[in-house]
Amino acid sequence: MEEKQKIDMALFRYSVIHDFVSGIKLDHGEKERLLKEKCNRKWLIPHSDKTSVSRGTIQRWIKLYQKTGNNLESLYPRTRKDLGKHRALDEETCLGLIRLREEMPDVSVPFIIEAIKKRDVIPPNTYLALSTVYRFFHQHNLMRKHTKVKDRRKFEAEMPNDIWQSDVMHGPKLIVGDKKRKTYLIAFIDDHSRLIPYGQFYTSENVLSFMHAFEQALLRRGLPRKLYVDNGSAYRSRQLMHTAACLGIALIRAKPYSPEGKGKIERVFKTIRSQFIPGFTGKSLEDINQAFERWLTDEYHARKHSSTGQSPISRFIDNIECIRSTPQNLRDHFRKVARRRVNKDRSVILDRILYEAPVKLIGKQVELLYHEDERESVEVRYKNKSYGMLVQIDIHVNCRVKRDKNNNIAISSKNIAPESGQIWGVS
């Protein structure tokens, strides 16, 4: 321990005992009260993780200080005379442990302890603590760690849109409406060209935000063959898996706790933090998204990339003929899918809204495809066949529905009793 650390410790110890050694005479009751108070208190002890001091320790410090004629150095922490030696292990036991470990480098520590006892290297009935032997082996570098080295290789996609990587970066707090809220940048990067197909700041990193960003990326840059993401909840959503499968995009997830595979998107985020965020002077979500779009176009995409030797936009369009274009009905692929059973009265409930399905689907488990912001357009499918769009039920109109002898629907101007078919007059 350095001299400065010793002084810090001595000064702390004196601050604990000064009430007892300052020359003021205390009666027995007062001493006991002070001792109890100091033992119960939480202390900030220099160069230590401990926060309390015991009664015996305080009394020992008082005795040391008074015995040396109030010499502060008496409160210095004492250096162990056996520093570096194992108090629980004698020399013969230490040598025996080393020999056994060299003979059996791959066996467990409990096996070593049993072996050393059987060979009578240590006196009979000698207790060897497991933790003591572990500590001894660690200090002598005798714990053979067989860590499996992972085969990681630098890679790059051969063509644009072969692989996209996506991730989320935490952004600054900005004004949204009348409040300041945290923002999240959801972005994609093309592995081959390092082009950013799309990136936008959102107030959430949930499925809805990610799917919006994904749709915009596809509209701007075409369809990737693979999408490489991590294991976040948005990437494990049924909606993303359904959309990717319908568009022929392979969804690949990184192994948990292995961020190395997403190195390219992480490197872009580092660039954004160091080159874009410091220069941003706006205050709102709209401000940052407009500024980010300009930065991507004017700076990032136009600047030569250090790894490829080309600007991202130039490298992307060099092989533009290989890029798969997005289908005209792309938005349909981003619909949510819900499974419902059609009731006997042809009704289907979706988020508390009542719809009417075709008669032939009564009792069938069907799929409902819809956009959250367009509940009036819900498509119904059964066994991968579309049965058109559902119609929201107007229960007042249904009260006037009747059928002729050929089962054709007619709308009556009078109400019909649901059970008997009796017509009620309308006054």
389 and 285 in a single domain? The answer is no
Provide the pLDDT for residue 295.
95
Task: Please tell me whether residues 59 and 109 are part of one structural domain.
Answer: no
Cα 256 vs. chain centroid, distance in angstroms? 10
pLDDT higher than 60, residue 134: yes
Same domain, 222 and 317: yes
Q: How many residues does the chain have?
A: 427
Residues 27-52 have a mean pLDDT of 88
Pair 230, 344 in one domain? no
Range with top average pLDDT, 42-51, 69-78, 189-198: 189-198
Q: In terms of domains, do 243 and 379 share one?
A: no
Report the pLDDT averaged over residues 363-385.
88
Whether residue 84 has pLDDT greater than 70: no
Rounded Cα distance between 27 and 420, Å, is 101
pLDDT tens track for 228-278 = 998 888 888 888 988 998 899 998 887 765 655 678 899 999 999 999 999
Tally of structural domains, the chain: 4
Average pLDDT, the chain: 83
Q: Lowest-pLDDT range, 119-128, 186-195, 196-205, 377-386?
A: 119-128
pLDDT at 416: 47
We report the CATH number of the domain holding residue 205 as 3.30.420.10
Per-residue tokens: 398: 């249904």
Judge if 290 and 339 occupy the same domain: no
Q: DSSP alpha helices (H): ranges in 181-310?
A: 207-221, 238-246, 263-271, 285-295
Query: Which structure tokens are listed for 389?
Result: 């769009």
> Is 248 within a domain?
yes
Look at residue 166 in the predicted model and tell me its pLDDT: 94
* Radius of gyration for the chain, computed over Cα atoms and rounded to the nearest angstrom: 38
Residue 250, in any domain of the structure: yes
Cβ-in-10-Å burial (0-12, 13-18, 19+) of 306 comes to exposed
Is pLDDT of 103 > 70?
yes
Distance, in Å, from the CA atom of 156 to the CA atom of 92, rounded to the nearest integer, reads 58
Q: Residue 167's closest CA among 260, 247, 238?
A: 260
* Spatial separation of the C-alpha atoms in residues 128 and 125, rounded to whole Å: 9
Q: Are residues 8 and 62 in the same domain?
A: yes
Of 206, 188, 205, which is closest to residue 197 (Cα–Cα)?
188
User: Residue 411: pLDDT above 50?
Assistant: no
Would you state the pLDDT for residue 143?
76
Q: How far is CA 239 from CA 207, 214, 242, 299, in A?
A: 8, 12, 5, 34
Asked whether residue 417 is assigned to any structural domain, the reply reads no
User: pLDDT: is 400 or 341 the higher one?
Assistant: 341
Residue numbers of the domain that contains 62: 3-75
Asked if the structure places residue 177 within a domain, the reply is: yes
Helices (H), ranges, 296-374: 312-318
In a domain, 154, yes or no: no
208 and 107 in a common domain: no
**Same domain? 339 vs 315:** no
Residue type, 176: V
Other CB atoms within 10 Å distance of the CB of residue 11: 12
User: How far apart (Å, rounded) are the C-alpha atoms in residues 5 and 2?
Assistant: 5
Q: Residue 385 forms beta bridges with which residues?
A: 382
Residue 202 domain flag: yes
- Asked if residue 330 belongs to a domain, the reply is no
CB 175 within 8 A of CB 284: yes
363/244 same-domain check: no
Report if residue 157 sits inside a domain: no
DSSP code of residue 235: G
Do residue 68 and residue 99 come from a single domain? no
Q: Are residues 126 and 208 in the same domain?
A: no
